[in-house]
Structure 1
Amino acid sequence: MQKSLKSMPKKYSFCFLLLIFTGLLGHSQNSENAGMSAFSSEFPRTTYFDRNAFLADSQFWTMCEDAKGVFIFGNNDGAVVFDGENWTKIKLPNNSSVRSLVLDSEGKIYAGGFNEIGTFQRDKQGVYFYTSLINKFHLEGSNLENLWQAHLVDSRIIFRAFNALIVISENTALQIPARKAFVYSNVVNNSLWVQDEDYGLYRLDLKSLQLVDEIPAKLFENETLTAILAGEKSNELYLISKNGKVYILDSLKKSVSFWFNLFEENKNDRVTSALKFRKDKYIVSTLNSRIIEFNPKGKVTRNNSVFADVKNTTIHNLFVTRKNNLWVLLNNGLNYLDFNSPYVQIFDQASVYDILINNSNLYVATNIGVYQSRLTTEFSKYTFEKIKNLNGQTWAVQSLDGDVLISHDDGLYKLENNEAIKIGDVKGFWKVSPVKGQPNWFLASNYNGLYLLEKNQGNWIIKNKIYGFDESTRDILAADEANTYWVCHGFKGVYRIVINNDY
């Protein structure tokens, strides 16, 4: 089934997931749901897209979002367009990869490839097409090589190659050469900052279109930068190097001070990108450590469970959508983290058939037994343990008369001290239903009819089989009339059965 953002998942009965709907959890069988409404919205639903979904090369470098919420990705095969349902691939004229993308104020998307600059626009049917601008701006033979980044600054489009900045304004393209190599650039507070290797940081004067020398390279130990981000103070910038060093730049004093290192000592890793994300958090993508987080106080979180479902592979880039969700551009596919989803995944160890919330515990009935976890308002802290001495297909876990009963392929069980205790010797039960007007009597739905179950002085006893009906009673509903039930059979139809008063 093709994955999408609008309809996924369309069905979940066999998808090996337990999905807890925020605010709706009380609609499951539930004897206690206190505190559940406080679930944190910080925990996202994470979706992975591989090449079977987007049908293109698996390496992604850059992306942008258009005015209608459609995503355009830069890929080794060109551009990949995703509208939330369908993927479309668009190749550049020279078949190069797309390394940079930026949306202008008029909704036009500028793209940079290898010796290629152009735009993606929609036709009358709303389908994207590509137009090269190489001839228009007389860039033939310029040997720009890869255009690594693209920015929108004060209505100008600015591309960064190693050997030059290309500033596009209306019908002209100005090239600003590097002294050695432009290795990184970013726009902060409507100013373009660029690092020239071995020389330092420059800022582009938007009036003269000249580079202004701001910070010499020695002030940040001549480290190669992979991020320049706005700090908490208006005069501060955070500089993040490829080696994981973080510096604070004071733009008024033109000073730089070392702050901390993102990586632990002797850690062999590299930073690939970074951005500010959700209030006061900064997130950093890496080659080997997935996503690292830090805050304005310098506290580093290296294994945040928010990102636990991100594929453990090299990350090339990060992108925040207008809805404050996160795309993670991987060396092998894409991850999408939806922080606005009404549900999240907290269990994926087996197929789920029933859940029960009881006495601050969450029980999960699965195809390989029953799992249990303490309730928590933090999704990341759910830790499931398997109930002892119970394996195989479990159909229901229920709270009945103060006890937890388990309906299983091997029979009925009562849960005591995290251990399943067998009730009787009959196999194959679907679930248990109370008998109206008989507080100690219950009907146990079986593969072959019904059994009378009684609780007597704290002990559960299978009294007898209800004779006269031997069909499967998985789906049973009490009628308004006494001792009358409706049974829906998956193949044979609906039965109405009436049981004697003594059962």
Structure 2
Amino acid sequence: MKKFLLFVTFFSFSCITYAQDLLGIPQVVNYNNEQYNGGMQNWDVQQDKNGILYFGNNEGLLTFNGQFWNIYRLPNFTSVRSIGIDSKNRIYIGAQDEIGYFFPDSRGILKYTSLLNLIPENLRKIADIWDISILNDEVFFRSINVMLHYKDGAMKTYKPAETWSFLGKANNKVYAQAKNVGLFVYDKEVWKPVCSDDVLKKSSITSISNYNGDTLLVSTLKKGFFLLYNNQLSTLKTKLDNVFFNDRIFFASRINNNLYAAGTTSGGVYLMNKQGDLVQKYNYREGLQNNNVRGILLDHDKNMWLALDDGIAYVAINSAIKSISPDRNKQITSYAFRKINQNVYIGTSNGLYTTKINTSAKDLSLSISGFEEVKNTKGQVWGLDEINNQLIMAHEDGASVINGNIATPIYSLPGTWMFQPLENVFPAKNILSGTYLGLQKISFVNGKFISEGKIEGISETLRFIVVDNNDNIWASHPYHGVYKIELSPDKKKVTKTTLFTDKNGLPNRLYNYVYHIKNHVVIATIDGLYEYNQVQNKFTRFKMFGTVLNGISIQYLKEDNNGNVWFVSNKKVGIIDFHKPSGSNAFSVFYLPELDGKIVGGFESIYTLDDENVFIGANKGAYHINYNKYLDNIAKPTVVIGNIKLLGPKDSTVFGGYFVKNGQMIARQNLSKIPEYKNALNSIHFEFSSTLFEHEKNTKFSYQLVGFDDGWSAWNGKSEKDYTNLSAGQYKFNI
């Protein structure tokens, strides 16, 4: 009999008021039941060692590996209310009249083992199992009328005086609440009383978390938060108490040493610090599809998953990239940014917006914001500059000075793109503005900007202007070329214009953009970067960045305060970081794939306030980047294999996504037992994914079936691959 053998290897590559909002909102991704093909309601969420997610769903156990959803139904087809995962990666579930665990068989396919038969027959009507807690691989299950303890293959039961109303774990101990009695702690097969405060007799506990040392944070359904220390309960008053009393806390979870997430039944999820201050909220207004939060998980990358009454949500709370919406009632495009004093200004397609900054944090995205439209600014705002300690605006109707939330015109018409001071020492007395009709001169006299009218001698629309070290003016037009402009002594007219094109060293007459970078006049072109060579009177390659940008079409450059250079290439954002040498280069190049295609093509804008506050113009709103955090968060994607199927008249799953050896789950395939299949079934289907969920839409894969493919595939976003009519032999699938 002819057979072929298969083994799989993996490679990873880097690729207050509560109507107010925070300045920046992280990515929120919603999944509905049509996407994951399960029930609407979800009750719990957990993650295993390999990064795979598990949801307690109305139709069973739901799994997600970053690309593929699978539903595993229980023998009695009931809802999974609770999930727990032990150190061996057994996935314990609590359902309606059912308890047990899922674990992969020898083919890596999850199989269910019921533990119901370990319960005395007269107690098997256990109703819903609402909570699971695991301590040292001992598993506790809670229903209202019985507590179950699974250890060493045996089950022990504990009956309450009335009902069990809570089960949870904190400080490496398991706690339970009995109605009208209070809080208990498990200790050597005995539930011992901890606190019998009247609050804990009457109010349902919904979570217990570590707070500080031996102090625990206790959440209740209707009465907010409490602190438990030395068996004594005290109220933790928060600025969110009215919200918690009204919306009810269904579940709470500790995010880090100073941050807690409270999931409510009608208000979404609130993040608060230990002092009870609001840090962030996520509800329908911020993008959640449902405000009823049943379960919260902080995943391996410190981002948040929510089990919702209707669907599932992912909130990238640890992301360094956040979106900004100056006007949530309109879709607007952003073109310009400035922070001056305690205000942030954003120039958009629908006027200028401003908000006061109210935060002690260096990351301004954490500030509460309340955007308002600056008066007299309706229309396209193309540019913002702080010159002589004043904010001036380039607008389709001219130029204005901005003071607070009022714009005062410097001149009306022509439309203005940008400003360029002619002196390097402020206060600058002469400022050029690039307009729809050439150049305009502005003087600064007695603390005021005064229009001096049009500079005669050039009528090109000029959006890109810089001044070199010899006071020469350089401007570019993307369809004509690069201009060197000389002005008269009084700066009121052009005395000489020299046009540089592909005849003067540039790779093309079109798409040339002039910038001042590293004390050089640099031209971004369709073939990398060029600079002016005064000796040869032509443009030559800009060599400071080596060859890393050669052959790449560049539309935008921006040098930040630390000497790093941000660039845009075909709507992709990158940075040349001179603080991180790489190999023979004095720098490293990083890309931000999360922003691919989202920025404004042709009107790119990057405002680099500092390393924790970079603002980028976008087609929809704007983006805030904490660059320091972005570098800290860079991680190699974890590649996981999903189902493998043999294709035929009836497809058969021969691998379910989990590697097992001697009854233990392992991270890699056991190469001592390579599977063999009949060659009559010689067509095969692979599924694979990455559990780096924040980059789900940006992750690309390359694969190779050794023994069939001559080399690796091109990088692409596909996460499945079919091979048909394979000859007998041995194959290895690399990802």
User: 1:134 maps to which residue?
Assistant: 114
User: 1:37 maps to which residue?
Assistant: none
The DSSP-based 3-state class of the residue aligned with 2:131 is strand
Cα deviation 1:255-310 (Å, max 9, x = unaligned):
655646774599544331234443356554333455568887xx654xx1422666
Q: Does 1:432 pair with 2:419?
A: yes
> What is the CA distance between 1:185 and its match in structure 2?
0.9
User: 2:72 maps to which residue?
Assistant: 91
1:473 corresponds to which of 462, 471, 484: 462
Cα distance in 2 for partners of 1:224, 1:417 equals 50
1:104 corresponds to which of 86, 98, 121: 86
> What is the CA distance between 1:49 and its match in structure 2?
2.4
The DSSP-based 3-state class of the residue aligned with 2:97 is coil
TM-score by length of 2: 0.51
Q: What does 1:202-281 align with in structure 2 at a 5 Å threshold?
A: 202-206=184-188, 209-212=189-192, 220-230=200-210, 232=212, 234=214, 239-244=218-223, 257=233, 259=235, 263-264=241-242, 268-279=246-257
User: 1:388 maps to which residue?
Assistant: 375
The DSSP-based 3-state class of the residue aligned with 1:163 is coil
1:452 corresponds to which of 440, 451, 455: 440
1:306 corresponds to which of 275, 280, 287: 280
Cα distance in 2 for partners of 1:415, 1:192 equals 60
Cα deviation 1:35-85 (Å, max 9, x = unaligned):
xxxxxxxxx8363524287565553321122224443232334344445x4
Cα distance in 2 for partners of 1:453, 1:80 equals 65
1:441/1:452 contact within 8 Å kept: no
Q: Cα distance 1:358–1:322, how it changes in 2: closer, same or farther (>3 A)?
A: same
Q: Cα distance 1:283–1:244, how it changes in 2: closer, same or farther (>3 A)?
A: farther
Cα distance in 1 for partners of 2:22, 2:456 equals 34
Cα deviation 1:186-224 (Å, max 9, x = unaligned):
123443322333455444444xx4545666686844433
2:422/2:471 contact within 8 Å kept: no
> What is the CA distance between 1:332 and its match in structure 2?
3.9
Cα distance in 2 for partners of 1:324, 1:426 equals 50
Cα distance in 2 for partners of 1:237, 1:481 equals 67
Cα distance in 2 for partners of 1:364, 1:344 equals 15
Cα distance in 2 for partners of 1:284, 1:18 equals 17
Over the residues paired in the alignment, what is the CA RMSD in angstroms?
Answer: 4.3
Cα distance in 1 for partners of 2:338, 2:272 equals 37
Cα distance in 2 for partners of 1:452, 1:465 equals 9
TM-score by length of 1: 0.72
Q: Cα distance 1:369–1:280, how it changes in 2: closer, same or farther (>3 A)?
A: closer
2:146 corresponds to which of 157, 160, 164: 164
The DSSP-based 3-state class of the residue aligned with 2:367 is helix
User: 1:149 maps to which residue?
Assistant: 131
Q: Does 1:61 pair with 2:40?
A: no
Q: Does 1:408 pair with 2:390?
A: no
User: 1:35 maps to which residue?
Assistant: none
1:104/1:152 contact within 8 Å kept: yes
Q: Cα distance 1:397–1:139, how it changes in 2: closer, same or farther (>3 A)?
A: same
Cα distance in 1 for partners of 2:212, 2:300 equals 21
Cα distance in 2 for partners of 1:318, 1:18 equals 21
Cα distance in 2 for partners of 1:266, 1:47 equals 23
Cα deviation 1:287-346 (Å, max 9, x = unaligned):
3455568887xx654xx1422666582322333445655444433445555554334455
> What is the CA distance between 1:148 and its match in structure 2?
1.2
1:484/1:498 contact within 8 Å kept: yes
User: Which residue type is aligned with residue 49 of structure 1?
Assistant: N
The DSSP-based 3-state class of the residue aligned with 2:45 is strand
> What is the CA distance between 1:455 and its match in structure 2?
1.5
Q: What does 1:286-305 align with in structure 2 at a 5 Å threshold?
A: 286-290=264-268, 300-301=276-277, 304-305=278-279
User: 1:318 maps to which residue?
Assistant: 296
Q: Cα distance 1:121–1:451, how it changes in 2: closer, same or farther (>3 A)?
A: farther
Larger relative contact order, structure 1 or 2 (CA cutoff 8 Å, min sep 6): 2
Cα distance in 1 for partners of 2:106, 2:468 equals 59
2:272/2:279 contact within 8 Å kept: no
Q: Does 1:341 pair with 2:319?
A: yes
Query: Structure 2: which 5+ residue stretches go unaligned?
Result: 1-14, 16-20, 488-492, 495-735
The DSSP-based 3-state class of the residue aligned with 1:147 is coil
Query: Structure 1: which 5+ residue stretches go unaligned?
Result: 1-9, 11-16, 21-43
The DSSP-based 3-state class of the residue aligned with 1:307 is strand
2:26/2:322 contact within 8 Å kept: yes
User: Which residue type is aligned with residue 108 of structure 1?
Assistant: R
The DSSP-based 3-state class of the residue aligned with 1:133 is strand
The DSSP-based 3-state class of the residue aligned with 1:420 is strand
Q: Does 1:194 pair with 2:176?
A: yes
Cα distance in 2 for partners of 1:385, 1:397 equals 17
Cα distance in 1 for partners of 2:234, 2:411 equals 70
Q: Cα distance 1:121–1:413, how it changes in 2: closer, same or farther (>3 A)?
A: farther
> What is the CA distance between 1:363 and its match in structure 2?
2.0
Cα distance in 1 for partners of 2:229, 2:433 equals 73
1:78 corresponds to which of 52, 57, 60: 60
Q: Cα distance 1:451–1:153, how it changes in 2: closer, same or farther (>3 A)?
A: same
How many residues are aligned here? 446
Cα distance in 1 for partners of 2:378, 2:127 equals 60
Cα distance in 2 for partners of 1:464, 1:364 equals 29
The DSSP-based 3-state class of the residue aligned with 1:99 is strand
User: 2:454 maps to which residue?
Assistant: 463
User: Which residue type is aligned with residue 224 of structure 1?
Assistant: S
Identity of aligned residues (%): 20
Q: Cα distance 1:427–1:114, how it changes in 2: closer, same or farther (>3 A)?
A: farther
> What is the CA distance between 1:153 and its match in structure 2?
1.8
The DSSP-based 3-state class of the residue aligned with 2:377 is coil
Q: Cα distance 1:397–1:218, how it changes in 2: closer, same or farther (>3 A)?
A: closer
2:95/2:129 contact within 8 Å kept: yes
1:270/1:288 contact within 8 Å kept: yes
Q: Cα distance 1:257–1:459, how it changes in 2: closer, same or farther (>3 A)?
A: closer
Cα distance in 2 for partners of 1:188, 1:18 equals 31
Q: What does 1:350-369 align with in structure 2 at a 5 Å threshold?
A: 350-369=332-351
2:174/2:186 contact within 8 Å kept: yes
2:182/2:201 contact within 8 Å kept: no
1:116/1:132 contact within 8 Å kept: no
1:185/1:193 contact within 8 Å kept: yes
Cα deviation 1:375-398 (Å, max 9, x = unaligned):
554432444332211112111111
User: Which residue type is aligned with residue 203 of structure 2?
Assistant: E
Cα deviation 1:214-246 (Å, max 9, x = unaligned):
666868444333234456563x65554333166
Q: Cα distance 1:170–1:421, how it changes in 2: closer, same or farther (>3 A)?
A: same
Cα deviation 1:330-371 (Å, max 9, x = unaligned):
334455555543344555424321112334543211111112
2:207/2:253 contact within 8 Å kept: yes
Which sits farther off after the overlay, 276-285 or 134-143?
A: 134-143
Q: Does 1:47 pair with 2:28?
A: yes
> What is the CA distance between 1:419 and its match in structure 2?
2.5
Q: Does 1:496 pair with 2:482?
A: yes
User: Which residue type is aligned with residue 241 of structure 1?
Assistant: T
1:351/1:366 contact within 8 Å kept: yes
